[in-house]
Amino acid sequence: MEELGPRAPYLPHAPGDVAAMLARLGLPDVEALFSELPEDLRLSAPVDLGPALDEASLARRVGQLAGANTAAGLICFAGGGVYDRYLPAVVQALAQRGEFLTAYTPYQPEVSQGTLQVTFEFQTMVSELFGLPVATAGLYDGSTALAEAVLMSRAATGRRGVAFASGVHPQWRAVVETYGQAQGLVALDLDGHADDVAAVVVQQPDYFGRIVDVEALLARRPAGALGVVAVDPSTLGVLEAPGRQGADVVVAEGQPLGLPLAYGGPYLGLMAARDDLLRRLPGRICGQGRDAAGQRAFVLTLQAREQHIRRARATSNVCTNQAWCALAVTIYLSLLGPRGLAELGRLGYARAHYAAGLLTRIPGVRLAIAGAPFFHEFALRVPEAESLQAAMAAAGFLVGPVIDRHTLLIAVTERRDRGEIDGLAAAMGKVLRDAGA
């Protein structure tokens, strides 16, 4: 028989409560509630997970693990689709509110208008950024949003091929291939097999930081194939909206718009599409409607696409829309406004080009793709990428990811000022001089 009063930290009962509840049920103890489990399936003792920690001990233990991540203390010039941007205090202060953080999917719209209105505002912002009329409430991350977009293209066209332009993030491409294998999806070259291409995938800027000619790439697509563009949304105050360059579907990783690095997640997948793809979109969508008294109200809509209604015939199995991440993005974009977003892009652009100019003056260092226009990130050809990354870390700077033996990425956000860029160049020069000596 177990002790009646709980010792676990978040249980509310006094011993008398447990006794009274058991008495109402006519049961001798909590154990009796598990009588329907075959006896040999019941564990006789607690699982050994080490001792339970009080809150102060927990904070110490987890704090030590956090402290062991010394890379977090480096000046961050790392990129690869994830960027160290300044996170305004307002984003964190508002997003941490329990009314947002501890609510769930707005199944009861009458008590979820906060969530729903934020979602509606988020969809409006995504639609504006991408230049496409219908946006979803969000997906897991950029890579899975791309996979969903390709599967949607497969379903919409009845074709099996996906053609990747060069420079699509290799991990994103791998995710598309994992998702696609079950649906008979095959990766094709952009210029072949014209009649079986469901989607052409272009990334802007691409994995190497290059700004690509979206319009020209999409113009080459075979008739009937959908143009899918994966874009860094933080560039869209400066660069043209892909939806006005011929894209049928646009997806993005939302991390650069107000989400912390957090070692890779949670992030947010953004998606918008042409009107006629509306009923093929994956996941949640919020719509504007009316309540019984005729006042404006928001509600999840077009749910007949979704798994809880359509089950095996749903457009996707996805349920979550990373709503909390979408909230952070909505707050961040509200703080920036149209001018802030443009300034953000221009600042990163100016600083990245300044950084590239300094770094390529170091002997043995050059741009990996000479002459290609880039935005706030570029691929650097160096003598030995892996060891340079380690040596730069020892000097206080995080660079990367390492792409191959001689190439790594450098990203410069609005958060890196001139002094830090000068420091980066000086440190890299010294590291390579020392290595060559």
Partner 1 sequence: MPVPDAPEPLIFERSRPGRRALRLPEIDVPEPSRPEDDLPSGWLRARPPALPEVGEPEVVRHFTRLSRRNFAVDTGMYPLGSCTMKYNPKINDTLAGLDGFAGLHPSAPDALAQGALALLWELEQDLCRLTGMDAFSLQPAAGAHGELVGMLIASAYHRARGDSARRRVVVPDAAHGTNPASAAMAGFEVVEVGTDARGGIDLEQVRAHADGRLAALMLTNPNTLGLFEGEVREVAQVVHQAGGLLYYDGANLNAIVGRARPADMGFDVCHLNLHKTFSTPHGMGGPGAGPVGVTRRLSPYLPGPLVRRRDVPAVAGPRYAWDDPGPESIGRVRALHGNFGVLVRAYAYIRANGGSGLREVSGHAVLAANYLAALLRPWLPASHDRICMHEVVTDGRALAPHGLRALDLCKALLDRGFHAPTMYFPLIVPEALMFEPTETEPREAIEALAAAVGEIVALAERDPEAVRQAPTQTPVGRVDEASAARRPVLRWYPSEGDRAPEG
Considering only residues 147 to 176 of the shown chain, the ones binding partner 1 according to CB under 8 A are 151, 169, 171-172, 174-175
CA distance 255 to 121: 18
> Does 34 sit near partner 1 (CB under 8 A)?
yes
The answer to whether 168 and 194 are in contact (CB under 8 A) is no
Nearer to partner 1, 51 or 437 (CB): 51
Question: Which residues from 171-210 bind partner 1, rule CB under 8 A?
Answer: 171-172, 174-175, 177-179, 181-184
Q: Does 433 bind partner 1 (CB under 8 A)?
A: no
CB 330 to partner 1: min, Å: 8
**For partner 1, which residue of 198, 199, 229, 325 counts as binding (CB under 8 A)?**
325
Q: CA-CA distance, 205 to 46, in Å (whole number)?
A: 52
Among 15, 28, 31, 195, binds partner 1 (CB under 8 A): 31
Contacts of 47 (CB under 8 A, 6+ apart): none
Asked whether the beta carbons of 206 and 217 are under 8 A apart, the reply is no
- Min separation Cβ 365 and partner 1, Å: 19
The letter for the amino acid at 128 is E
Binders of partner 1: how many residues, by CB under 8 A?
218
Site for partner 1 in 255-284 (CB under 8 A): 260-266, 274-275, 278, 284
Applying CB under 8 A, which of residues 161, 167, 209, 237 lies at the interface with partner 1? 237
* Least distance between partner 1 and beta carbon 270 (Å): 13
Whether a cis peptide bond, with omega within 30° of 0, leads into 28 is: no
Any idea which residue has 């996170």 for tokens?
A: 87
Please list every residue from 74 through 113 that binds partner 1, using CB under 8 A.
Answer: 74, 76, 78-82, 84, 88, 90, 92-94, 96-113
Residue 60 CB contacts under 8 Å (≥ 6 apart), including other chains: none
CA atoms of 239 and 375, how far apart (whole Å): 9
- Least Cβ distance, residue 202 to partner 1 (angstroms): 13
SS3 296: strand
Residue in the block written with tokens 């006042």? 295
* 421 interacts with partner 1 by CB under 8 A: yes
- Identify which of residues 137 and 427 has a Cβ nearer to partner 1 in the complex: 137
Q: Among residues 27 and 192, whose Cβ is nearest to partner 1?
A: 27
Nearest approach in angstroms of CB 380 to partner 1 is 14
30 binds partner 1 per the rule CB under 8 A: yes
Q: Does 121 bind partner 1 (CB under 8 A)?
A: yes
Interface residue with partner 1, options 15, 28, 192, 289 (CB under 8 A):
289
Place of tokens 């990425």: 409
Are 208 and 369 spatial neighbours (Cβ–Cβ below 8 Å)?
A: yes
| H-helix segments, 134-213 | 142-157, 170-181
- Contacting partner 1 (CB under 8 A), which of 361, 405, 418, 430? 418
Burial 157-167 (b: 16+ CB within 10 A, else e): bebbbbbbbeb
Asked if 24 interacts with partner 1 (CB under 8 A), we say yes
Of residues 340-359, which lie at the interface with partner 1 (CB under 8 A)? 340-347, 349-351, 353-354
Q: Phi first, then psi: what are they for 155, rounded to 5°?
A: -70, -40
CB-based contact 195:94 (threshold 8 Å): no
- Establish if 60 lies at the interface with partner 1 (CB under 8 A): no
Q: How far from each other are the two terminal CA atoms of the chain, in whole angstroms?
A: 73
Is residue 371 at the binding interface for partner 1, with CB under 8 A as the rule? no
Which structure tokens are listed for 370?
């000479």
Residue 435 binds partner 1 (CB under 8 A): no
Give the residue, chosen from 390, 426, 433, 435, that forms a contact with partner 1 under the rule CB under 8 A.
Answer: 390
The one segment of 153-161, 189-197, 334-342, 364-372 that binds partner 1 by CB under 8 A: 334-342
Q: Contacting partner 1 (CB under 8 A), which of 219, 244, 363, 433?
A: 244
Give least dist CB 6 to partner 1, A: 5
Query: Which of these segments, 62-70, 193-201, 362-370, 428-436, binds partner 1 (CB under 8 A)?
Result: 62-70
- Provide the sign of the torsion angle of the four alpha carbons 53, 56, 62, 64, taken in this order: negative
Q: Is the distance from CB of 365 to CB of 380 less than 8 angstroms?
A: yes
Q: How far is C-alpha 279 from the chain's CA centre? A: 24
Could you tell me which of 374, 337, 383, 334 has the C-alpha nearest to residue 356?
Answer: 374
436: contact with partner 1 by CB under 8 A: no
CB of 197 to partner 1, least distance (A): 20
Q: Which of 194, 364, 398, 406 binds partner 1 (CB under 8 A)?
A: 398
Whole-angstrom distance, CA of residue 167 vs CA of residue 164? 8
Residue ranges in 290-319 that form contacts with partner 1 under rule CB under 8 A: 290-293, 295-304, 306-314, 316-319
